[in-house]
A and B are shown apart, each in its own frame.
Chain A
């Protein structure tokens, strides 16, 4: 399963957050990692696309007071999603091998 850059970022952020993965947390994680603004539109439409591909599973979680009593959309990465993310990561590492910006960081990649 081929991933786009933003799809990879989203899956990776969700995987890092594990049980704490939901809309706002994933958005903050992506923005902190990339330094770019992540729009809600991009986030939620990509979540739908990845769920349709069975790379993610989402459901409505519990409401919390700091969210004004509104529920979260909780996200969990499936094994298929983890595999797709690993393939993307390996491809990036392979294609980056020998570049000046990747010296000393891609030795482990196959």
Chain B
């Protein structure tokens, strides 16, 4: 194979597992396959592997039941928290008049914690369910972000306020990829915490369906922790 072609084949083969990459590249080298034919073979294998992952329900749930809808909802919630912050704390700090701690501040704190907890649990469940299809879930999360960033037109807020949910979500994904489920005590604490934090929003006139939709990853974590606790 020509050097440039072979380099392309080697690059494409990085998408395969280490052992499989070793065996496939060795096979290609042994039969003296052309780089074009080798690329087709490698992409064919990658496509089959990816298709195989989607035979399971988990990637579907992670991508279309969680990543896509929750990124929309979390962006809305990020914006809401940013607005609350601006209304409540921003002017007081800028005017150097100090922070007045009242119910509004308490609500903002609850919402901030809730945003972090929802984002982290959502990210964790996406990471643990997606695994090798994570790139699809990530793409489906970023598509709404790009759409909303492009249409963002609030002068008093930065576009980045839409993406407040991303750092905890990314941390959750990283953790979810490393450990598939959390300990029962942690799952209980998270679920109870999230449920308690949503209490102040029960009386508000805001939409309650997204609230519960964003809470289900915590309940899922609790269910999986309970199940593994009983089967262990």
Q: Which residues of A approach B to under 8 Å, CB–CB? A: 22-24, 27-28, 39-42, 44-45, 60, 63-64, 66-68, 70-73
Contacts and interface: CB of A to CB of B under 8 A. Distances in A.
A45 B48 contact: yes
A27 B27 contact: yes
Given A60-B19, A67-B26, A70-B25, 14 more contacts: A22-B23, A23-B24, A24-B27, A27-B27, A27-B31, A40-B27, A40-B42, A44-B20, A44-B24, A64-B26, A66-B29, A66-B30, A67-B29, A72-B27
Of the candidates A27, A40, A72, the one having the most CB atoms from chain B within 10 angstroms of its own CB is: A40
A23 B23 CA distance: 7
B48 to A, nearest CB: 4
Given A28-B31, A42-B48, A70 B41 contact: no
18 contacts: A22-B23, A24-B31, A27-B27, A27-B31, A40-B41, A41-B44, A41-B45, A42-B44, A45-B45, A67-B27, A68-B25, A70-B25, A70-B26, A70-B29, A71-B19, A71-B22, A71-B26, A73-B19
A71 B23 contact: yes
B132 interface: no
A41 B47 contact: yes
B229 interface: no
A51 to B, nearest CB: 13
Interface in B23-74: 23-31, 41-42, 44-49, 52
Interface residues of B, number: 21
Main secondary structure of the interface of B (DSSP, over half): helix
A1 B80 CA distance: 58
Contacts of A64: 26
B39 to A, nearest CB: 11
A27 B23 CA distance: 13
Nearest to A28: B31
A67 B30 contact: yes
Contacts of B48: 41-42, 45
Contacts of B42: 40
Contact of B23 (A28, A66, A72): A72
Nearest to B42: A40
Contacts of B19: 60, 71, 73
B60 to A, nearest CB: 20
Contacts of B26: 23-24, 63-64, 67-68, 70-72
Nearest to B31: A24
Contacts of A70: 22-23, 25-26, 29
B49 A45 contact: yes
Contacts of B22: 60, 70-71
B26 to A, nearest CB: 3
